[in-house]
Amino acid sequence: MKIISAINFKGGVGKTTITWLLAKFLAVKNQKNVLVVDIDSQMCLTLAVHFDEEKGRFKKDFESWYLQHIKNKKTFLDALESFEKGKGNFLDYPISASMIYKMSEKLHFIPSTDDMYWLESDISNRDRVKSFVKVFLNKLEHTTNFDYDYVFFDCPAYFNALTHSVLSNSDLIIIPVNPDVFASTDINEMLEGLSRRIQPLPPAKIGVVMNKAKTMRDVYLTPESKKFLKDAKQAKTSIEHRGISIEVFDSCIPEKGDIKKAMPTEKFPQEFEECFSSLWSKLKGLVE
């Protein structure tokens, strides 16, 4: 079971989009067993996949499952709070089908809840929260019938004890960047800050992916996007001096208005197949 997370403290760069489409690519196109966990209090992924915009409510099947999930206190946050209040290095809390929503045989999902907003102010034992993800994954892998090849975490654009826990237990951290001046400065500053807080960083491999790349005739990067990709590669050099190993990929995800529509569909969108296939062939080398 490999753990993959996406992080960038810059909002709107595509953490949620890439996490979800990559997870769906592996489940639908590669027949992998995949779990995706939304740990963002803004619930963007939970909404993008399960919310019916026309009707202004969650899709029927999901809605009834979700209401029970919250009512029966089976959310990821409930598990975390139970662990935080407990003792010992194990999770005395069931991981069952009422916690994990089966979207298909291969693709499973743990939604977020808006209570996640209060996580930072409600927790009293920050160190226990930091060790939660390790204990959770250990229980998931060794004591349940769920047999995942990959577990993805959709992280928020901020850093808290739970993000700390996710990042320090990831095999691969994807950093999406956009073709702008922050593409290079942001990753440098973020990784420098993270490496001071998560010791040792990285336990994971780190892959930088340019998202919303501007292309010509859907194929070539525009000179401007090329320049920002080059800047990101230069940032990699200065980060590596600090002992952090990082790859900046040439395979970019183009800016395409249709990507939002591709989120809730069961199928993997054909128009993104080539770029996700090429991206995965690079990421796979880092994670395996």
Which residue ranges make up the site for ligand ATP (CB under 6 A)?
Answer: 11-17, 40, 44, 156-157, 211-212, 253, 255-257, 259-260
When CB distances are held under 5 to 8 angstroms depending on the partner's kind, the choice from Mg ion, ligand ATP, none that residue 37 binds is none
* Closer by beta carbon to Mg ion, 19 or else 169: 19
15 interacts with Mg ion by CB under 5 A: yes
* Closer by beta carbon to ligand ATP, 123 or else 279: 279
**Closest CB to Mg ion: residue number:** 16
Q: What is the CA radius of gyration of the chain?
A: 19
* Closer by beta carbon to ligand ATP, 35 or else 174: 174
* Closer by beta carbon to ligand ATP, 204 or else 253: 253
What is the C-alpha to C-alpha distance for residues 119 and 165, in angstroms, rounded to an integer? 13
17 interacts with Mg ion by CB under 5 A: no
In whole angstroms, how close is the CB of 37 to ligand ATP at the nearest point? 14
Residue 177: C-alpha distances to residues 31, 55, 65, 124 (Å)? 28, 33, 35, 34
Out of 5, 8, 16, 211, the residue judged to bind Mg ion by CB under 5 A: 16
Give helix 76-85 / helix 132-143 axis angle, nearest 10°.
110
44 interacts with Mg ion by CB under 5 A: yes
DSSP state letter for 197:
H
* Closer by beta carbon to ligand ATP, 16 or else 168: 16
Return the H-helix or E-strand segment holding 136: helix 132-143
Instruction: Encode burial over 14-53: b for 16+ CB neighbours within 10 A, e otherwise.
Output: bbbbbbbbbbbbbbbeeebbbbbbbbbbbbbbbbbbbbee
Tokens of 279: 């991206």
The contact set with Mg ion (CB under 5 A) reads: 15-16, 44
